[in-house]
Amino acid sequence: MPYIITIYRDGDGMPMALVVVDALYCGICKPKQDPIPLPQLK
């Protein structure tokens, strides 16, 4: 299950999230390489 580490706004004001995949299942962080856009939070 993905876990959101933090949410921030980029230079254009778009909310972005840093996400770790499988945080609950294995306990080893595997952050996504790129932040995930969250336009629904505008």
Residue 37 pLDDT? 80
Does pLDDT of 36 surpass 80? no
Q: Strands, DSSP E only, in 1-42? A: 3-9, 15-20, 36-37
Residue 38 pLDDT? 77
Q: How confident is the model at residue 40 (pLDDT cuts 50, 70, 90)?
A: confident
Q: What is the pTM of this model?
A: 0.55
Residue ranges of the domains in the chain?
3-41
**Joined tokens for residue 25:** 């299942």
23, 9 in Cβ contact below 8 A?
A: no
pLDDT digit string (tens) for 12-35? Answer: 988 988 887 765 556 566 666 777
DSSP 8-state class, residue 36:
E
Residue 24 pLDDT? 56
